[in-house]
């Protein structure tokens, strides 16, 4: 039986009185993409730091393949490629050279490393910047191109475990699609991929499994379809004017013509899960609310994984309607 690419059991890590990871269980099998989702401070980066040996857990086990990563962190680290949350330090190098060096460190010959570097540039469409040198303080290359190069440095050679921490930060929309396709190809080729993100809307396209962290604890796990729950439901999304009160909370407002299955408030958005049979009456109600100015816009769409995510974790402080904005997570 093939060992899991990563198996975490009962992982606990404290910083003083703060419990950053609280008895976390997580498994990444070869050939799968497992998403680790959570708001700022949920404990995602702390978990990754323990997997690669930068932090030692207070309790629990980490196995990378057949290796005990707590007892033998250096041996485990050789089985892992990581794109960290911070930009890779490539100042002074061109993208071609940076990725080629990473490939050489992974054991490729000089010839194969050069070929692999060129192939990554083609796969992610950063060829026009291939020979442009990265300069200090962000000069020479944009943040998006640097992010693509960081992914290429991690993914240029096959590894049993590939860890990607917010890989699409700063990347433009067209190249994000290329990057997600590249992630899927690495898993299909046999790597286990741990994808750390809070961009649930985009990441759902490539995920096989999902683990949701909230305040250090796993609050849900399973396939995206399982976590979406009732596929017969629909999402009624209301977008409120600035400072407006929710029509659901206003006793003087016309009530919603059905009992909602779930209501999630996310800044100026209200995500309401309704039964499919109630779509027409809810659309009529929402049209009336828009006409009198209590809402700006509305939409009725299939239930999304985002609804479950926000229901389990709540909208982060300052949330203005998207879980796809860039996250800068503290170590805890």
**Residue 324 scores a pLDDT above 60:** no
- Per CATH, the homologous superfamily of domain 6-226 is P-loop containing nucleotide triphosphate hydrolases (3.40.50.300)
Q: Over pLDDT 90: what percentage of the chain?
A: 73
Where is 194: in which H helix or E strand? strand 192-197
User: 57 CB contacts (<8 Å, ≥6 apart)?
Assistant: 11, 12, 13, 21, 50, 70
Q: Which CATH number fits domain 230-302: 3.40.1130, 3.30.70, 3.10.450, 3.40.50?
A: 3.30.70
Q: pLDDT at position 319, please?
A: 46
**Residue 4 scores a pLDDT above 80:** yes
Every domain of the chain with CATH number 3.30.70 lies at 230-302
Q: pLDDT at position 217, please?
A: 95
Q: pLDDT at position 250, please?
A: 84
User: 229 CB contacts (<8 Å, ≥6 apart)?
Assistant: 303, 308
**Residue 321 scores a pLDDT above 90:** no
Please report, for residues 235, 266, 272, 299, the alpha-carbon distance to residue 269 in angstroms, rounded to integers and kept in the order given: 12, 5, 10, 11
Every domain of the chain with CATH number 3.40.50.300 lies at 6-226
**Residue 322 scores a pLDDT above 60:** no
pLDDT band with cut points at 50, 70 and 90 for residue 231: low
**Residue 188 scores a pLDDT above 80:** yes
Each residue of 268-291: pLDDT tens digit? 999 999 999 999 999 999 999 999
Q: pLDDT at position 315, please?
A: 58
* Mean pLDDT to the nearest integer, 214-228: 89
């Amino acid at each position: 039986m093939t060992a899991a690419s990563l198996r975490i059991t009962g992982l606990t890590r404290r910083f003083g009185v703060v419990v950053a990871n609280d008895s976390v269980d997580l498994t990444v099998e070869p050939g799968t993409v497992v998403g680790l989702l959570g708001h700022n401070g949920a404990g995602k980066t702390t978990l990754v730091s323990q997997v690669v040996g930068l932090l030692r857990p207070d309790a629990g086990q980490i196995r990378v393949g057949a290796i005990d990563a707590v007892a033998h962190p250096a041996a485990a680290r050789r089985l892992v490629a990581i794109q960290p949350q911070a930009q890779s330090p490539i100042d002074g190098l061109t993208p071609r050279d940076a990725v080629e060096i990473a490939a050489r460190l992974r054991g490729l010959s000089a010839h194969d490393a050069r070929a692999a570097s060129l192939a990554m540039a083609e796969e992610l469409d950063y060829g026009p910047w291939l020979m442009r040198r990265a300069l200090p303080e962000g000069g020479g290359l944009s943040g998006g191109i640097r992010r693509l190069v960081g992914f290429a440095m991690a993914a240029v050679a096959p590894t049993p475990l590939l860890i990607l921490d917010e890989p699409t930060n700063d990347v433009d929309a067209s190249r994000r699609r290329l990057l997600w396709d590249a992630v899927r190809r690495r898993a299909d080729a046999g790597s286990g991929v741990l994808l750390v993100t809070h961009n649930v809307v985009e990441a759902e396209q490539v995920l096989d499994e999902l683990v949701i962290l909230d305040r250090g604890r796993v609050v849900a796990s399973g396939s995206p379809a399982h976590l979406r729950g009732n596929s017969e439901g629909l999402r009624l999304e209301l977008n409120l004017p600035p400072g407006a009160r929710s029509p659901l909370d206003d006793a003087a407002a016309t009530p919603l013509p059905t009992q909602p299955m779930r209501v999630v408030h996310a800044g100026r958005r209200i995500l309401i899960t309704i039964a499919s049979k109630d779509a027409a009456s809810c659309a009529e109600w929402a049209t009336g609310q828009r006409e009198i100015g209590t809402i700006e816009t509305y939409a009725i769409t299939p239930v999304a994984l985002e609804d479950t995510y926000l229901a389990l974790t709540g909208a982060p402080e300052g949330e203005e309607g998207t879980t796809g904005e860039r996250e800068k997570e503290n170590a805890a």
